[in-house]
Amino acid sequence: MGAAFGSGSAGSVFGSAGSANFLSRSTGVAAAVFFATSIALTYYGSHRATSGGGVMQGVTGEPAKSQSSAPASTPAPAAPGAPSGSSAPKSDVPK
């Protein structure tokens, strides 16, 4: 059966048994750590005590009003070369 996967006459199905290097072993360790933390977080998320309130439960009072340093009624300056007034001249392009 090992020949079907390209391993020739190896004794095991996917190749020789002792050919695991550092990268393949560390990948296995990382997968085990990932599974363990996933199960732990699932358990923690489903079994922790709930207080019965929402996220705004402890908030009281009104928000503080901030003062801006610049007055709000100051108009923005016009861009250089922009036409003044509400409409642009009709013959702006030279012939």
9-22: average pLDDT: 65
Give the tens place of pLDDT for each residue, 57-76.
777 877 777 766 655 566 66
Buried b (16+ CB within 10 A) or exposed e, 47-81: eeeeeeeeeeeeeeeeeeeeeeeeeeeeeeeeeee
Q: How confident is the model at residue 34 (pLDDT cuts 50, 70, 90)?
A: very high
